[in-house]
A = this chain, B = another copy of it.
Amino acid sequence: MYDGIVQELIDELGRLPGIGPKSAQRIAFHILQTESFDVTRLSSVLIEVREKVKFCEICGNVSEEVTCGICRDPRRDPTFICVVEEAKDVVAIERTREFRGLYHVLGGAISPIDGIGPDDLRIRQLMTRLADGTVTEVIIATDPNLEGEATATYLSRLLKTLEIKVSRLASGLPVGGDLEYADEVTLGRAFEGRRTVN
């Protein structure tokens, strides 16, 4: 145990995701030896980000304005909506440069264990966006895990009632991966989703 305030900092850092007690200690000691100036900057960016950053009223993405840069961009195709769990998934997909439509961030995935049901996600807002008939395809891009699959199944059933095409991102072998190291579920999916090449 450390003297008062140092232990307090270690405790605070330890509350951040992915930071165990050892990392918290390492970071705390790093901060003790860092220029006051740099610590002040980190401290004020923390406050600023919390004050400035809001969530886009339309899609739920992070944004410094009422609506996010993607929703405001007139070059984006409004007939496609890609549904993701978190704002960081938007960034991941944007990096691929494959998708030029709009997004809808659910704010999580259905998880009975964590007590998260459909009403805790931004599904109602999605239905409202789909109501005017602009959107022709909804691409469900939830995580390929239990919660993500449950959410995708729930959504695809819900959207069946509308005249909208619903698709799901392909599962299969990761590019650059090694077939022998693929788990059986992934390999099974890769077979299921195989494509004719000649």
Interface residues of A, Cβ cutoff 8 Å to B: 1-6, 8-9, 12-13, 15-19, 23, 25-32, 34, 36, 38-53, 62-64, 68-69, 86-88, 91
Contacts and interface: CB of A to CB of B under 8 A. Distances in A.
Given A12-B41, A52-B5, A29 B69 contact: no
- Quickly give the copy total for this chain: 2
Contacts of A68: 3
A63 B2 CA distance: 9
Given A6-B49, A15-B38, A16-B30, 5 more contacts: A6-B53, A9-B49, A19-B23, A32-B62, A36-B50
A63 B27 CA distance: 17
Contacts of A6: 49, 53, 62
25 contacts: A3-B63, A3-B68, A5-B45, A5-B48, A5-B52, A8-B49, A9-B45, A12-B45, A16-B27, A17-B27, A17-B30, A28-B49, A29-B62, A29-B86, A31-B46, A32-B49, A32-B53, A32-B62, A32-B87, A36-B50, A39-B46, A39-B47, A40-B50, A43-B44, A43-B46
